[in-house]
A and B are shown apart, each in its own frame.
Chain A
Amino acid sequence: MTRAVVTGLGVAAPNGLGTEAFWKATLAGRTGLAPLTRFDATQYPSVLAGEIKGFVAEDHIPSRLMPQTDHMTRIALAAADWAIGDAGADLRRLPEYGMGVVTAASGGAVEFGQRELENLWSKGKEHVSAYQSFAWFYAVNTGQISIRHKMRGPSGVLLTEQAGGIDALGHARRHIRKGTPLVVSGGVDAALCPWGWVPQIASGLMSTARDPDRAYLPFSADARGYVVGEGGAVIVVEDAASARERGAPRVYGEIAGYAATMDPAPGSGRPPGLRRAAENALADARLTARDIDVVFADGAGVLALDRAEAAAISGLFGPRGVPVTVPKTMTGRLLAGGAALDVATALLALRDGVIPPTVNVPDPAPDYGLDLVTDRPRDTAPRSALVLARGYGGFNAALVLRRTDD
C-alpha cells in the first residue's frame, strides 16, 4: 500500500509565528491567550482570544494579492510558503497536475465578508469590492494556495467545524493513494471579528472568563468553555516513495491511520462517536492501543464534552493508560486550523521525542482517569501519536501518526 508521509510544516499560531517559534513557545508553556484587540469585544460575553502577533501581511503577500485576500488567507498563504519551503525547494520540479491542495475551513473569510456587507448596507452596492465574489469563500485558502504554487492536481475543501484539520489530511491521503504524489493540506482559520464571534458565542461553549490563565481548562473540574484563536498549520503530505525519490530533506512521520464518525442524534441513547473514530483509526493503521505513545486530545474545555472524551480515552487505553496532552490550551481553539495545528504539534513531538504540556490544568479531574501531561514537557521519546478532534454538530475525527524509522 502507498504510504502517505509528512515532509513539510508551516505553523502560524497565537503563541508563535513560524514552526520553530511556535514549538519553542509550546515546550516553554507560553500562552497566546489574551484580551481581544482585533475588534472591540467589550459588548460581548466572551472577551479573550488567541491572536497571532507580529504578522505583517505585506512582508508575505504580493501587492496584487493584498486587495483580494482576507487576513485568514494571508496567514494561510504565508504558512503554505513555509511548509513548501520546509519540504524542499525542488518541489517545483514536480508536475503541476501531480500536486493538489486540500484544506479545512469553517465559515470562510468572515472578516472580509463582514467589511463588504458593511459597505453594502452603509454606502451602497457601488462600494462592494469585486473581490468579494471569491475572497470570503470557504474554499479560498485552497484556491489561493493552488494558484500561487501552480498546484493543479485534485483539490478541495472540507468543512467539519473543528474536526476539519484531520479530515483534510485524511482526504489528502486518499489523493496520495489514488496516485497524486503531493498534497498541500491542513487548515488555517481566522474569524476574530464580530461576524465570526457571534456564532461561536451562540454555541454556548465559549468561556466567559476574563483571566486568560483561568479561561480554557480542558479536563479540569473547573472547565468553563473554550477560548477561540486564529491560525493553524499547513502540512505537506507526500507519497513516501516519491518523497524519497526527489530527495525530500526530512520525513516528520507517516499518516498511518485515519477515521471519522458522526455522533448519533441527541436523545438516541447511543454513545458518542469519538471512541469509534479512535478505534477505527487504530485499525486502519493496523495498530492497537498499546502501540500508541501519546494522545493529543480534542480538549473541548466543556464539562460534558471533556467527560465524554475522557471516557473514550480511558475506555480505549485503560485508566491513566497513555499520556494525554492538550497544547492548544496555549493557543485557544483555532476552528478549522486547530486540528491541523495539533497534527503539526504531534509530528514535532515525534521528531524531538518530547510531549508538550497542557497549561493551566495542574489538577485534572481525578475521576476522568487521564494521565494528563501538565506544566512541563515529558521526555518519553514518543514514536506514535493519536490525534483526536471534534466539531460542533457531531463530527469526530482521529489520526494516527508514527515515525517512519521504526
Chain B
Amino acid sequence: MSTGTTVTLADLTRMLRESAGEEEGVDLDGDVLDVSFDDLGYDSLAMLEVIGQVQREYGVRLPDETVADADTPRALLALINAGGDLPGAG
C-alpha cells in the first residue's frame, strides 16, 4: 500500500481508547511506547478490536500472524507504518 500517512503514538492511543477503553491505573499519555499491551491492560480481543479500527481508518492490511508479534505500541506502529509487513521480516 502507499504509506502517505504516518500513524503516530497519539493516533494509536486515541484508537486504543476508542476501541477498547483505558485500564484504571494506566496513563496512555505517559511513556508507554515500550510497555507491552498486556501490561497496559489489553487482552487479545481488545487488540483485535483496535487492529480492526486501524485497518478501517488507515486502509492498511495487518495479517494476524504479524500482529501477534507486535506486543508493544512501538512494535505495532512500526508494523502499521511499514504497511503491514514487519520491518526486516520476510
Least distance between A122 CB and chain B CB atoms (Å): 14
Please give me the residue from chain A that is nearest to B41 by CB atom: A64
Contact across chains for B52 and A126 when beta carbons are under 8 A apart: yes
Range of interface residues on B (Cβ < 8 Å)? 10 to 19
B22 touching A63 by the CB < 8 A rule?
A: yes
Cβ-closest chain A residue relative to B23: A64
Interface pair B56/A130, CB less than 8 Å apart = no
A1 to chain B minimum Cβ distance, whole angstroms, is: 43
Contact B56 A127 (CB under 8 A): yes
Complex: A390 Cα to B24 Cα, angstroms: 42
- A118 CB, min distance to chain B CBs, angstroms: 16
Chain B residues 1-22 with CB under 8 Å of chain A are 17-22
Q: Say which residue of A62, A126, A127, A133 sits within 8 Å of B45 (CB atoms).
A: A133
Also in contact, A62 and B21, with CB within 8 A (given A126-B56, A127-B56)? yes
Residue A65, interface by CB 8 Å: yes
Let me know if B55 is at the binding interface, CB within 8 A: yes
- For B17, the closest partner residue in chain A by CB is A63
Asked whether B20 lies within 8 Å of A126 as measured between CB atoms, the reply is no
Contact with A67, one of B20, B23, B41, B56 (Cβ below 8 angstroms):
B20
Are A67 and B22 neighbours in the complex by a CB distance under 8 Å? no
Chain A positions 268 through 282: 1 when the CB is less than 8 Å from some CB of chain B, otherwise 0? 000000000000000
Chain B 35-73 interface mask (CB, 8 Å, partner A; 1/0): 000000100011011001001100000000000000000
Chain A residues near B45 (CB, 8 Å)? 68, 130-131, 133
**8 Å CB interface, A110-145 against B:** 126-127, 129-131, 133
Q: Is A28 an interface residue (CB 8 A)?
A: no
Q: Give the Cβ gap from B47 to chain A, nearest Cβ, in Å.
A: 9
Known A63-B17, A64-B41: A130·B48 in contact at CB below 8 Å: yes
Minimum CB–CB distance for B14 against chain A, Å: 13
- Bound-complex Cα distance A62 to B21 (A): 8
> Given the known A-B contacts A126-B55, A126-B56, are A131 and B49 also in contact in the complex, defined by CB atoms under 8 Å?
yes
Given the known A-B contacts A62-B21, A62-B24, are A67 and B49 also in contact in the complex, defined by CB atoms under 8 Å? yes
Q: Are A130 and B52 in contact (CB under 8 A)?
A: yes
Closest to B24 in A: A62
Question: Given A130-B48, A130-B49, do A63 and B21 touch, yes or no (CB 8 Å)?
Answer: yes
Cα-based distance from A127 to B52 in the complex (angstroms): 8
Q: Are A67 and B21 within 8 A (Cβ)?
A: yes
Q: Are A64 and B55 in touch, CB under 8 angstroms?
A: no
Give every chain A residue within 8 A of B19 (Cβ-Cβ).
67
Per-residue B-contact encoding for A211-253, CB less than 8 Å = 1, 0 else: 0000000000000000000000000000000000000000000
Does any Cβ of B come within 8 Å of A66's Cβ? yes
Interface 0/1 of A56-98, CB less than 8 Å to B? 0000001111111000000000000000000000000000000
Chain B residues with Cβ below 8 Å from A126 are: 52, 55-56
B22: A residues at CB distance < 8 A = 63-64
Closest Cβ–Cβ distance, residue B75 to chain A (whole Å): 20
- Pairwise interchain contact A65-B21, C-beta atoms closer than 8 A: yes
A131 to B48, CA, bound (A): 9
Point out the residues of chain A lying under 8 angstroms from B20, CB to CB: 64, 67-68
Q: How far is the CB of A377 from chain B (nearest CB, A)?
A: 42
Q: Which residue of A lies closest to B43 (CB)?
A: A64
Instruction: List, in ascending order, chain B residues with CB within 8 A of A65's CB.
Output: 21
CB distance from A324 to the nearest CB of B (A): 46
Residue on B nearest A123 in the bound complex, by CB: B56
Q: A126-B55, A126-B56, A127-B56 are in contact. Are A64 and B21 (CB under 8 A)?
A: yes
Q: Which residues of A contact B56 (CB under 8 A)?
A: 126-127
Give the nearest-CB partner of B56 in chain A: A126
Cα-based distance from A67 to B17 in the complex (angstroms)? 9
Contacts of A63 in B (CB 8 A): 17, 21-24
Q: What is the distance, in angstroms, from B87's C-beta to the closest C-beta of chain A?
A: 25
The 10 A-B pairs at the shortest CB distance, nearest first, are namely A63-B21, A64-B21, A130-B48, A130-B49, A63-B22, A66-B21, A64-B23, A130-B45, A67-B21, A67-B20
Seen from chain A, the residues whose Cβ lies within 8 Å of a Cβ on chain B are: 62-68, 126-127, 129-131, 133
Could you list 21 A-B pairs, sorted by A, with CB under 8 Å?
A62-B24, A63-B17, A64-B20, A64-B21, A64-B22, A64-B23, A64-B41, A65-B21, A66-B21, A67-B18, A67-B19, A67-B20, A67-B21, A68-B45, A126-B52, A126-B55, A127-B56, A129-B52, A130-B45, A130-B48, A131-B45
Instruction: List 5 additional contacts besides A62-B21, A127-B56, A133-B45; criterion CB under 8 Å.
Output: A63-B23, A64-B22, A67-B21, A130-B49, A131-B49
